[in-house]
């Protein structure tokens, strides 16, 4: 499972900042690693330089082998909280998709 991080111009992104989030996603989604080929994580600040609540958005697109990609998003106060929320939504969607595939 390859994880690719992208940030907008309002959020500084580098490997040092992405490393803990990559580790979190790898561990959190390890159960589905056989089904996911790649994750694309997009983090953006919706308000730019202004302060605000829930202004950081994380979109995760999961590319699955032999299936259409699925995407989820979550808004939060910080990048890490947004990633964790999006990961929870992705796990829920993956459980549904993988569960349906097993029942056939």
Structural domain spans, the chain: 2-103
Instruction: Per-residue pLDDT tens, the chain, 104 aa: give them.
Output: 899 999 888 887 777 888 899 999 999 999 999 999 999 999 998 887 777 677 899 999 999 988 899 999 999 998 899 999 999 999 999 999 887 766 65
Contact predicate 8/43, CB 8 Å: yes
pTM score, two decimals?
A: 0.87
Could you please state the CATH topology (level 3) that the domain comprising 2-103 is classified under. Answer: Double Stranded RNA Binding Domain (3.30.160)
**From CA 45, how far away is CA 47, in angstroms rounded?**
6
- pLDDT score for 13: 72
């Amino acid at each position: 499972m390859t994880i690719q991080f992208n940030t907008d111009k309002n959020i500084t992104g580098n490997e040092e900042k992405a490393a803990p989030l990559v580790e979190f996603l790898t561990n959190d989604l390890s159960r589905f690693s056989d089904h996911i080929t790649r994750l694309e994580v997009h983090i953006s600040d919706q308000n730019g330089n202004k302060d605000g609540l829930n202004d950081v958005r994380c979109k995760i697109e999961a590319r699955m082998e032999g299936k259409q990609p699925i995407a989820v998003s979550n808004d939060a106060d910080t990048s890490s909280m947004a990633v964790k929320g999006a990961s929870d939504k992705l796990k829920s969607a993956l459980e549904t998709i993988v569960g349906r595939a097993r029942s056939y």
